[in-house]
Amino acid sequence: MNYLVNRSEIVSDLIDGEVILLDLKAGAYYNLEGTAATLWQWLESGAATDSILQALGAAFPELAPEGLAQDVTAWLKDLVENRLLTPQEQADADAKGPDFSPPYSRPQLFAHADMEELLKLDPVHEVGDPGWPAVPSN
């Protein structure tokens, strides 16, 4: 199974090696660190899951391929459950991401709901015809 980033509802950015994800519809935000941040960059490129696992195995040959696959599969399931990814059959066979850097860390999705109300605000609906900010005429 391959995956597609849910770009219609999710925005993401890489900041100092950490990926920040915002779910604009649900008002949740997430962060990915270490190996998970690099995995996300591979997913954003449209890379096939098999290609990602091969690159991960090559970067960390001391780790069992089965263990890496289990870690990544569980993480991908978490991303799908949080609507950050959608499963798809096809993937770009030539797509690649950045090199994986040691040390290996089990990929995790860190979810945060403390800004949910703020992220769900839609300022466009709170603005009248004059726009925002409305400048009073003198």
pLDDT tier at 16, thresholds 50, 70, 90: very high
134 lies in some domain: no
138 lies in some domain: no
Residue 87 lies in domain:
2-126
Question: Which two three-digit tokens encode residue 119?
Answer: 């992220």
What percentage of the chain carries pLDDT values higher than 90?
72
131 lies in some domain: no
Supply the pTM of this predicted model.
0.82
Q: What is the total count of domains within the chain?
A: 1
**CA distances, 99 to each of 38, 49, 52, 58 (Å):** 8, 15, 10, 10
132 lies in some domain: no
pLDDT at 87: 96
